[in-house]
Amino acid sequence: MGSKSDWDIMKNCCETLKSFNIKHEVRVISAHRTPKRLEKFIKESEKNGTEVIIAAAGGAAHLAGVTAALTTIPVLGVPMESVLKGIDSMLSTAQMPAGVPVATFAIGKAGAINSALFAVATLSRKYPNILKKLQAYRSQFEKKVPKTPY
Ligand code: RP5
């Protein structure tokens, strides 16, 4: 995430990953404030077999896009809420030029959770144990939604 101030929202992403026992690392790295840290992190990620990177940033949110420009590891972007209610973050994250994709999720908490679930779904195509957990999660989810509103 681009700032420690994003953690309150992005902890929902980590909690979701943890609930599926997905090994992950959490870092504060800013495309604007700590570009060298970003470069180092990407080099390490390519060496250590990282399969997905989730990048959360707000405002002029370049983190996901710059990350995607520097690696072929799939990048999932989560726009953070901002003074412009996250619309700036969402457009900055989603409106990538053709050739450098960032899969962009909803602004804020829903995006934080869904980015994790999307990473889980992606990994589940390769790891049968993750697929089992995802199927169990989906069936529980189904049971939790009432059939009527009263
Ligand atoms: C972005 O600027 C961060 O991702 C954060 O959402 C936003 C504000 O950062 P702080 O000023 O709170 O550190 O880079």
Res 141: pLDDT: 80
Q: Is the CB of 5 under 6 A from ligand 1?
A: yes
Identify which of 36, 38, 44 has the alpha carbon closest to the alpha carbon of residue 1: 38
Cα gap 101→93, rounded to integer Å: 10
Span from the CA of 62 to the centroid of ligand 1 (angstroms) = 11
Q: What is the pLDDT of residue 100?
A: 97
Is 108 near ligand 1, meaning CB less than 6 Å away? no
Confirm or reject: Cβ of 77 under 6 Å from ligand 1: no
Residue 143 pLDDT greater than 90, yes or no: no
Q: What is the pLDDT of residues 109-134, one digit of tens each?
A: 999 999 999 999 999 999 999 999 99
Q: What's the CA-to-centroid distance between 34 and ligand 1, angstroms?
A: 12
Which position has the token pair 């412009």?
84
Tell me how far apart the alpha carbons of residues 57 and 62 are, in angstroms, rounded to a whole number: 7
Q: Which helix (H) or strand (E) holds 79?
A: strand 75-79
Report the predicted TM-score, pTM, of the whole model to 2 decimal places: 0.96
What are the tens digits of pLDDT across the range 49-97?
999 999 999 999 999 999 999 999 999 999 999 999 999 999 999 999 9
Query: Which residues on adjacent β-strands are paired with residue 76?
Result: 54, 103
The preferred substitution site among 1, 3, 10 for testing ligand 1, maximizing ligand atoms within 8 Å of CB, is 3
d(CA 76, CA 67): 10
